[in-house]
């Protein structure tokens, strides 16, 4: 059965940190003070929830359920053979109006052992907008000890935790891969398109000034002594940082990958400048950043798209192209690369 691309309704809900208004402006949705995120094309629920976080289709059906009813039409046989009915990807818009707290995410092995899950949470940020001199925290600046970090957490020493990070300047068009276990933070005012493994697993190292009880909810229900074993205590070297960060500036007139090859085992993202270049058939999530265009598919006709539209594109729609407008297409990993990703 050949399915057609579908323009998605907005999918936002309250979070513990303050948001701005750029999601609402881009997506024609609410956005606003306690809605700093939108989950796009999501078949993933918020941690501990049954349905919160799931994207719905225009008819009200959960995308997750539609996929489950016909996974091969959505994904194709190669994806289904490797991943079953998992999308293997979660895409978000983040618009923090306050600095995100220092936190981190477990990797696959830790999530399997302690939470009986198949995925950790390696993630990546595509910087859409950023103030002058904006920075993100990416890893500790020097090697830390577990007991020292644990002591800072117990003392709720936010200043010391933030000061412990390596701060990296960012600008629009930068893409930063954040391997699972890496402590990180994002400054206020940075508008991000985030790709990640399909989980909602976060461990907080600080929470002062945020609407969350870190003592209760900051450790995935495992306790800090256990969850700190998922944290990376050594710094990211300058050589490794080059493998994690790529800057395109969104200036290409041709389709191009936004991430370094280091991300291939987790997710893929390409800038589409609306030049009609072919994108191979496969489950995709497309976010239109600017302009109007026509999305033409080999098997399912064409659909008009415009600024702020977010679409899911099934495998069975066939090869496709974007003619006009500018978008970012987000895709799952290739099975061979995913099999090697830690």
The CATH number of the domain where 333 resides is what?
A: 2.60.120.10
Mean pLDDT of 225-247: 97
Instruction: For residue 93, name the pLDDT band (cuts at 50, 70, 90).
Output: very high
Give CA–CA dist 3/75, Å, rounded.
11
Q: Looking at 218, 247, 276, which one is the last position of a domain?
A: 247
Same domain, yes or no, for 172 and 144? yes
- Domain-located, residue 214: yes
Q: Give the tokens for residue 59.
A: 């008819």
Q: Is the pLDDT of residue 29 over 90?
A: no
Cβ proximity of 165 and 141 under 8 Å: yes
> What integer pLDDT is reported at residue 32 of this predicted model?
75
> What integer pLDDT is reported at residue 34 of this predicted model?
76
For the chain, how far is it from start to end, CA to CA, in angstroms?
Answer: 35
Torsion, Cα of 128, 286, 105, 181 (10° steps):
-70
Per the structure, the count of domains in the chain is: 2
Instruction: For residue 14, name the pLDDT band (cuts at 50, 70, 90).
Output: confident
Q: Looking at 190, 218, 247, which one is the last position of a domain?
A: 247
Give CA–CA dist 124/21, Å, rounded.
22
> What integer pLDDT is reported at residue 254 of this predicted model?
87
Q: What is the 3-state secondary structure (H, E, C) of 67-114?
A: HHHCHHHHHCHHHHHHHCCCCCCEEEEECECCCCCCEECCCHHHHHHH
Same domain, yes or no, for 115 and 92? yes
Q: Looking at 247, 281, 307, which one is the last position of a domain?
A: 247
Q: Is the pLDDT of residue 285 over 90?
A: yes
- Domain-located, residue 2: no
Half-sphere exposure of 206 (CA within 13 A, CB side): 23
Q: Give the tokens for residue 228.
A: 């700190």
Cβ proximity of 3 and 317 under 8 Å: yes
Mean pLDDT of 39-46: 98
- Domain-located, residue 3: no
Give CA–CA dist 228/225, Å, rounded.
6
Cβ proximity of 23 and 95 under 8 Å: yes
Give residue 289's domain range: 256-338
- Domain-located, residue 271: yes
Collapsed DSSP state (helix, strand, coil) of residue 40 = strand
> What integer pLDDT is reported at residue 31 of this predicted model?
75
Q: Is 88 exposed, middle or buried (0-12, 13-18, 19+ CB in 10 A)?
A: buried
> What integer pLDDT is reported at residue 30 of this predicted model?
76
Q: Is the pLDDT of residue 147 over 80?
A: yes
Instruction: For residue 1, name the pLDDT band (cuts at 50, 70, 90).
Output: confident
Q: Which of 222, 208, 238, 259 is nearest to 106 (CA)?
A: 222
Q: What is the maximum alpha-carbon separation in the chain?
A: 59
Half-sphere exposure of 141 (CA within 13 A, CB side): 11
pLDDT in tens, 239-262: 999 999 999 999 888 899 999 999
Same domain, yes or no, for 81 and 27? yes
Same domain, yes or no, for 84 and 106? yes
Same domain, yes or no, for 202 and 287? no
Residue 80: its H or E element: helix 77-83
- Domain-located, residue 30: yes
242 alpha carbon, distance to own chain's centre: 20
Q: Is 251 left (phi over 0), alpha (psi -120 to 50) or beta?
A: alpha
Same domain, yes or no, for 135 and 46? yes
Same domain, yes or no, for 108 and 85? yes
Cβ proximity of 337 and 264 under 8 Å: yes
> What integer pLDDT is reported at residue 310 of this predicted model?
98
90 alpha carbon, distance to own chain's centre: 5
């Amino acid at each position: 059965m050949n399915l057609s691309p579908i323009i998605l309704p907005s999918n936002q809900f309250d979070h513990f940190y303050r948001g701005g208004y750029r999601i609402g402006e881009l997506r024609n949705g609410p956005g606003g003070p306690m809605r700093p995120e939108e989950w796009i094309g999501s078949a993933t629920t918020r941690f501990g929830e049954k349905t919160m976080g799931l994207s719905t289709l225009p008819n009200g059906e959960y995308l997750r359920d539609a996929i489950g009813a016909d996974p091969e039409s959505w994904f194709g046989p190669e994806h289904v053979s490797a991943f079953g009915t998992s999308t293997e990807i979660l895409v978000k818009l983040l618009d923090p109006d306050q600095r995100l707290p220092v936190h981190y995410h477990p990797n696959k092995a830790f999530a399997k052992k302690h939470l009986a899950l198949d995925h950790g949470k390696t993630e990546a940020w595509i910087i859409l907008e950023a103030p002058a001199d904006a920075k993100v925290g990416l890893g500790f600046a020097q090697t830390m000890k577990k007991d020292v970090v644990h002591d800072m957490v117990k003392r709720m020493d936010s200043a010391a935790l933030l000061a412990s990070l390596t701060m990296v300047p960012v600008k629009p068009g930068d893409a930063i891969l954040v391997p699972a276990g890496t402590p990180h933070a994002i400054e206020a005012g940075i508008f991000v398109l985030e790709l990640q493994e399909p989980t909602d697993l976060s461990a907080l190292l600080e929470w002062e000034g945020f609407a969350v009880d870190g003592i209760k909810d900051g450790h995935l229900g495992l306790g800090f002594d256990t969850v700190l074993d998922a944290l990376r205590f050594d710094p990211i070297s300058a050589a490794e940082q080059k493998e994690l960060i790529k800057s395109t500036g969104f200036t290409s007139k041709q389709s191009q990958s936004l991430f370094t090859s280091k991300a291939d085992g987790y997710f893929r993202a390409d800038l589409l400048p609306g030049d009609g270049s072919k994108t191979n058939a496969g489950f995709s999530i497309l976010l239109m950043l600017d302009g109007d265009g026509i999305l033409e598919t080999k098997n399912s006709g064409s659909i008009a798209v415009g600024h702020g539209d977010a679409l899911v594109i099934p495998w069975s729609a066939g090869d496709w192209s974007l003619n006009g407008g500018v978008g970012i297409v987000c895709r799952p990993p290739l099975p061979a690369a995913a099999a090697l990703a830690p």
